[in-house]
Amino acid sequence: MPRWSHWSLRRSLLAVLVPGLLAVTGLDIAVSWRNTLAAANAAFDRSLLGAIKAMDANISTASGGLSVELPYRMLEFFELTASGQVFYRVASGDNLVEIGNDGLPPPPQPLVDGQPQFHDGSYFGTPIRVGSYARELDRALSQGSQSKRVMIQVAETLESRQDFTRRLVLETVARDFLFLLAALGLVVLVVQFALRPLQRLQSEVAARRVDDLTPVSAEDVPADVRPLVDALNQHASRYRDALEAQRRFVDDASHQLRTPLTTLATQVGFALREQDGSKRGQALLAIKQQVDDAIRQTNQMLALARADAAALRLAPLDMHALAERVTRSLWPLARSRAIDLGFEPLPGPPSRVNANANEAQIAEALSNLVHNALVHVPAGGHVTVQAGCEGSAAVLRVVDDGPGMSAADRARAGERFMRVVRVQRPAEPSALLTNSTSPAASQGSGLGLAIAKAIVQRHGGTLELADANGHASQPGLVATLRWPARAPA
């Protein structure tokens, strides 16, 4: 038997609704049967009570004994109505005086004066329905009995009662069966009608091209299905973004690696043709530098692709430990360029600050900012890494004393492969920036700030660039990564 989850929606609905309707109809038939029997018995019992009342009205004790003037026409009419035999019995309370059919079964419960009692019984093997009634006499009997109480019983056979009940029950069952058929037909039609929008949705999605990732219209689908359509559209949007990131990575790789590889091939050819050992050595050094640049550009493109597509798993992060580790990893580069690179915590009472973040991605973002600063700060300059919290925000900051950046360039900083033109000041060229398009610009891929910005944005934060000390006249630039310290995963 297939699992419930493997059934179609139509089959699942019918499997629940049809047995449910059958069960409800069966219960309704049982209740109707019981109520019909009760109603038929009540109607026939009222007829018995009418005969008892008529007989009670003809009881006389004027002679001192118990006598009944039987209304024969009434009994004949009652027998005709009952379509069977009718029996009666009138007796004193002590049963010493008795008129009518002897041997009628007594009531199962003691009679209360003025309250009739009806029960089934048997009279000489014939099933009967008996009505019993008792009351006080005006005066006690003086002949045959001293009782002051009289009991009246009237009984009838069950043929007419059973025929009437059978017809009434069959009519009720036929009505419920017709109702069941109508309900089943209505259920099938409703299920078919309710699933029609899903069939149209299935046809629309199946007819789409492989590369068609446009949102599916949710106007004609039921409100209960609309969240599913919205979820599918959201998934398609994420898939479209992933494809776009993949296409962008391929374009970026071809854009960034074509020129370095061409230059590298030219330099290798020059080195192979050069006979002078010193010039060949210079060519090999140039080749090494070109290879190093290509490796870094490739690593940056891979880091940017990971920042765009990798799953963001947040965990508690010791920001001071992270900043110290990144700073130490770049000390060799700082020493080679004669730059003072250090770390200091932001002002605040805690000695160690924790924040929710993805450690690998935040480390990649900070490393790119520090590396850019070291590449562009002139020899003898200073680069300081700061870490801590400001209010509810986690902060990583890189401060340098380079020339800085214009406001227009800061507005565009973080765009992929954009090499901003550095501000020229008496000091050496700028810091924290990737390469400029001007001849004075240093080498770079234009990806460092883009990587940092993409990573911090995935954490719900921002990359902020500002002049050191807030004054454009002062040398230096400040790059800040800021995101919510307790952002939910």
Domain assignment present for 4: no
Counting the structural domains of the chain, the total is 3
Residue 73 lies in a domain: yes
Residue 121: is it exposed, middle or buried by C-beta count within 10 angstroms (0-12/13-18/19+)?
middle
How far, rounded to the nearest angstrom, does the alpha carbon of residue 168 sit from its chain's CA centroid?
50
Which one of 110, 132, 165 terminates a domain?
165
160 and 250 both lie in a single domain: no
Closest CA to 478 of 486, 487, 469, 66: 469
Residue 424: its pLDDT value, please? 43
Local structure of 406: helix, strand or coil: coil
pLDDT of the residue at 373: 87
Q: What is the CA radius of gyration of the chain?
A: 51
Judge if 347 and 475 occupy the same domain: yes
Q: What is the pTM of this model?
A: 0.47
CA distance 311 to 238: 12
Per-residue pLDDT at 423? 45
The DSSP string of 131-169 is EEEEEE-SS---SS----EEEEEEEEESHHHHHHHHHHH
In 3D, which of 50, 44, 69, 47 has the Cα closest to residue 58?
A: 69
Domain assignment present for residue 470? The answer is yes
pLDDT at site 189: 86
Residue 462, judged by CB atoms within 10 A of its CB (0-12, 13-18, 19+), counts as middle
| pLDDT given at position 251 | 67
The last residue of a domain, from among 165, 200, 220: 165
Does 268 fall in a domain?
Answer: yes
Is position 188 within any domain? no
- Are 255 and 290 contained in the same domain? yes
Q: Examine residue 198 and state whether it is found in any structural domain, yes or no.
A: no
Asked if residue 390 and residue 420 are part of one domain, the reply reads yes
Whether residues 398 and 320 share a domain: the answer is yes
42 and 151 share one domain: yes
Consecutive 10-residue averages of pLDDT for the chain (489 residues)? 60 80 84 82 85 84 76 64 78 83 88 91 90 87 80 87 82 84 86 80 80 77 78 83 73 65 78 81 81 72 64 84 92 91 81 78 89 87 92 91 74 58 41 36 59 86 82 72 75
Q: How far apart are the C-alpha atoms of 173 and 218, rounded to whole Å?
A: 45
- pLDDT recorded at residue 74: 63
User: Contact, 303 vs 296, CB < 8 A?
Assistant: no
Query: Residue 390's domain is classified under what CATH number?
Result: 3.30.565.10
Give yes or no for a contact between 48 and 156, defined as CB atoms under 8 angstroms apart: yes
Q: Are residues 119 and 100 in the same domain?
A: yes
328 and 474 belong to one structural domain:
yes
Q: What is the pLDDT of residue 3?
A: 58
Q: Which residues fall within 8 angstroms of residue 489, CB to CB, at 6 or more apart?
A: 312, 313, 314, 356
Distance of alpha carbon 112 from alpha carbon 419, whole angstroms: 111
- Structural domain ending residue among the three candidates 133, 165, 197: 165
Statement to judge: residues 353 and 299 lie in one domain: no
Q: Is residue 327 part of a domain?
A: yes
The pLDDT of residue 272: 82
Q: Is residue 215 part of a domain?
A: no
318 and 301 within one domain:
no
Neighbouring-strand partners of residue 398:
385, 479
Q: Are 303 and 319 part of one and the same domain? A: no
Q: Are residues 48 and 158 in the same domain?
A: yes
What residue numbers bound the domain in which 101 lies?
11-165
Question: In this structure, what DSSP letter does residue 469 have?
Answer: G
| Residue 165: closest CA among 49, 32, 46 | 32
